[in-house]
Amino acid sequence: MNICNFAKVIISRSTKDSTSINYFNNPHSRSEQNTLTPVYNSSVSLKQRHENYSLFMHKYPFMQINNFKLYCQKTARIQEYVTNAKYYENRNQGGERETFINHFNLIQWLKISETERKQHKLENCMPCNTTHIDISKIHKSVSETSIQILNLSEQIVENVSSILPTSTATKGKKTAQALINVLNPLFENQFRKSFEKSAAEALHLSPIEKSADKVKNELTLLKKNKIQIIEATSVNDRDVENFLASGKSFKQHDRERMHLYESKANAEKETKIRLEKEQKGQVVHKKHHGNFSNYTFNKEEFLVEIKSLMEKGIVNWTRLAKKYDVTNTITGNKPQNAGQVLFMFAKANGIDIMSFNKHKAVSGRDILRRVRRPKKKIMKKLSIPTPRSSKTFKEVIKQKLADGTIYLGNQIAPKTVISSSISKEGNLTENKVIVYSRIIGLQKIILSELSRLQKSGILLVHNDEYYDTLTEDEIRQRLQFLGEETNASCQDMRLKLKVIERTFKLKMWHDHSDILNHSYVNFMTTILYDAANFMTDNEYQTLARTTSTTNVQSIVEKPQLYILGRSASKDIDQISYTEARIEDLKQLTNKIRYGDIDLIFKLRLFSGDGPARQFEAGQQRGGNFSCICGVENLEDRRKLVVEGSSWIKIKDGIINPFQNLKKEELIDELEERGVDTFHLNLKSRLQEELTSVLHGYVDPCITYDTPR
Ligand SMILES: [Zn+2]
Ligand SMILES: [Zn+2]
């Protein structure tokens, strides 16, 4: 009877052994010692022993005997098998029974792996006939086949190891290798999978790689990893966004990026070592061009031309490459180093290329190897992931500008700026560059701000139906809350509330600042907070069900960039913005449609320094609004100005004609206005007098051709 040996011993012995039962019951306090003396308790009934066995095997269905009657039958026979000495090798004269019981009892069962326990089967047990065959074989119940396999295996191991050299240290490994080599094709034939692979699968081993393959695979994985890191940092061009928000210059970005490259000294050292190796012939010089046959261009014609140029000694290789249309035959691309290709092609055809461009050779580029700083390496053939370069950033930005992802506003107020640079030859050259300022239309700002505020949930904009359904009391309450008069008819109040709540005010802020020695003007704008348009702090807190205090005004009044451009605080510079601003403001006279509601926007407040404020109000400069100088009659004012002769300068673009007048001019101006200047000797007194006569008036508004 071929029954699992563990079942045999557990049924016949362990089910009545209190040591084993204790061991089973206390999984956390199991002693590590191997020999636990069994204490058999003969008073345990068969019924109890069946229960014990069922408990031991409740996780292993192949080992269970659920039927008590069947269990009783089996127990009787198994008892005989395990106990009777005749069933053991040598009739148990060498203590084989004890060895057998000690190997297959409950304690040992609990020590083998869970995976193996699941493999044991009550009948025809595989692990008992293979894994445990060396012990199983001492019992006569062992199957003939198992014994045969065992004997065969012993023979194979012996035979194979006998033909191998006798170095004990590696013999085991070599025998195994030899066995594998023999078994591989046999397995391949029968199971379409080598023994090696099948064994690896059976033992849950990862496939064995050759050391070189392992390194290669690791490198591939690391390289993939590196690319993933780079891609993750540049996904959706977040790196460009970060860069633009950082305030860094492109140069600074590249400079910082160079920290990830080898130092110049190291790179020079490496290049030198490489050069020496090349000279010794230890390594081959890396060509920066492919086989010349891979490039399409008229080679004969080129060689003729280059020979004719030798006398002159000056060649522009890049231009020649363009002329000959050097093309990569395989890819069809124009190689970036086409000039270098021609240079090397000429060299290869025996032309003394060093005789060309001798004036440039000072830089050493044609003679010495250019030192290229490589990226720092994590290991051989693996460089550290580096951020994208400014050059790439610029490309991305250009593209984003073109498709409108990045909006810079409209160009206004062109100014000619002189930028000076020093040429290669050492000459100072001046280039005139037109620089534009940028304006982001108020309408655009307003719409984006409204949607931002709506998202924040603080914007109060209601449709017509809302106002129609308000009761008189509600309207009155709301108006009172907003500090408005309420002694009007219901309909009037309704209309009033609607207008008040749909009217927004804009604040403008204006200042000058220097950035890198250039003067800039900057206009910022923001919607003003008003309880008529936005929730109050309390309302917001109640609605948002938050205990934290929120300042709604600070959410609303977030400054938005309106205009930014180069501008000195000179009048002529400042006034160049007036035109563009008025054009933009004109659009605000129309209502702004937000959703299906028309909103009114009014420019209400302006903050900035003195001159800036005057430009805004047009009181003294700009000439767009009547001024506040005290002279009420426009015609009187005009006469006052044109009585003199300096005002004519206005036509030449001088905005403030009464400023910086010479002493004689001051006298003329005053005399022409009937002031006796005889007793006024000092220039400062003359200026004071003129200012007084003109009522401090310097605004040429009424003298413009088109007073606005
Ligand atoms: Zn078994
Ligand atoms: Zn005035």
Is residue 36 domain-resident? yes
Whether residues 593 and 681 fall in one domain: no
Whether residues 450 and 599 fall in one domain: yes
Tell me the CA–centroid distance for residue 698 and ligand 2, in Å. Answer: 7
Whether residues 606 and 526 fall in one domain: yes
Tell me the CA–centroid distance for residue 420 and ligand 2, in Å. Answer: 42
Amino acid of residue 684: S
Closest Cα partner for 4 from 37, 52, 49, 53? 53
> Which among 617, 649, 671 is the end of a domain?
617
Ligand nearest the Cα atom of residue 696? 2
Tell me the CA–centroid distance for residue 132 and ligand 1, in Å. Answer: 8
Amino acid of residue 353: I
Ligand nearest the Cα atom of residue 124? 1
Ligand nearest the Cα atom of residue 57? 1
Is residue 645 domain-resident? yes
Distance of alpha carbon 138 from alpha carbon 10, whole angstroms: 17
Whether residues 56 and 90 fall in one domain: yes
What local confidence, expressed as pLDDT, does residue 179 receive? 85
Whether residues 449 and 576 fall in one domain: yes
Q: What is the pLDDT of residues 482-526, one digit of tens each?
A: 888 888 888 888 888 888 888 888 888 877 778 878 888 888 888
Tell me the CA–centroid distance for residue 36 and ligand 1, in Å. Answer: 21
Is residue 413 domain-resident? no
Distance of alpha carbon 21 from alpha carbon 231, whole angstroms: 61
What local confidence, expressed as pLDDT, does residue 10 receive? 92
Is residue 540 within 8 A of residue 531, CB to CB? The reply is no
Q: If you write DSSP's letter for every residue of 436-482 in order, what string do you get?
A: EEEE--HHHHHHHHHHHHHHHT-B----HHHHHH--HHHHHHHHHHT
Whether residues 580 and 679 fall in one domain: no
Ligand nearest the Cα atom of residue 60? 1
Whether residues 86 and 114 fall in one domain: yes
Ligand nearest the Cα atom of residue 632? 2
Ligand nearest the Cα atom of residue 10? 1
What local confidence, expressed as pLDDT, does residue 369 receive? 56
Ligand nearest the Cα atom of residue 135? 1
Whether residues 114 and 183 fall in one domain: no
Is residue 494 domain-resident? no
Tell me the CA–centroid distance for residue 552 and ligand 2, in Å. Answer: 40
Query: Which residues, including other chains, have CB under 8 Å from residue 510's CB and lie 6 or more apart?
Result: 521, 522, 523, 524, 606, 607, 608, 612, 615, 616
Tell me the CA–centroid distance for residue 172 and ligand 1, in Å. Answer: 28
Tell me the CA–centroid distance for residue 671 and ligand 2, in Å. Answer: 22
Closest Cα partner for 540 from 548, 530, 477, 467? 548
What local confidence, expressed as pLDDT, does residue 11 receive? 92
Tell me the CA–centroid distance for residue 617 and ligand 2, in Å. Answer: 11
Ligand nearest the Cα atom of residue 628? 2
Tell me the CA–centroid distance for residue 199 and ligand 1, in Å. Answer: 21
Is residue 512 domain-resident? yes
Q: Which two tokens stand for residue 464?
A: 């017509």
What local confidence, expressed as pLDDT, does residue 704 receive? 44
Whether residues 583 and 663 fall in one domain: no
Closest Cα partner for 416 from 522, 573, 578? 573
Closest Cα partner for 289 from 320, 335, 329, 324? 335
Distance of alpha carbon 390 from alpha carbon 254, whole angstroms: 6
Whether residues 183 and 107 fall in one domain: no
Whether residues 13 and 113 fall in one domain: yes
Is residue 212 domain-resident? no
Q: Which two tokens stand for residue 169?
A: 């240290």
Is residue 380 domain-resident? no
Task: Report, as ranges of residue numbers, the positions in the chain whose pLDDT lies below 50.
Answer: 362-368, 618-623, 628, 700-708
What's the domain range around 21? 5-162
Number of Cβ within 10 Å of residue 59's Cβ equals: 11
φ, ψ for residue 602, nearest 5 deg? -125, 135
Is residue 569 domain-resident? yes
Query: Which residues, including other chains, have CB under 8 Å from residue 501's CB and lie 6 or more apart?
Result: 460, 461, 462, 532, 533
Number of domains in the chain: 5
Whether residues 450 and 517 fall in one domain: yes
